[in-house]
Amino acid sequence: MLLRESAHAVLTDEGGAILDERTGRWTHLTPSACAALLLLLAGSTEAQAASGFAERYGIGAEQAARDVRAVAHTLADRGLTADGPRDPARSRRGGRWRR
């Protein structure tokens, strides 16, 4: 997973937040959501991230997969990931997004 260029994360073991500079809004993350995101940002697949998440928190593989998927889908739904929903206010020109 990759965050969108306009999304800036501050992630710690105690929790964190992501600033969406397009909207000026912060998305706050719990410590476990931060852990899931860090695993996803490390280049892991969702399955690999879920495995690491299960190990870290001592939970079952199915629960870990649901938790990691929930974090990934929530961030995508908010347009914070590179593969998230497109902002209709932008258009594609010359390989770059423009407002």
Percentage of the chain with pLDDT > 90?
A: 79
Q: How confident is the model at residue 85 (pLDDT cuts 50, 70, 90)?
A: low
Task: Please tell me the predicted confidence (pLDDT) of residue 84.
Answer: 57
Measure the CA angle with vertex 53, ends 19 and 12; round to 5°.
35
pLDDT of 68 reads 97
**What pLDDT does 48 receive?**
95
CA 77 → CA 12, 69, 71, distances in Å?
23, 12, 10
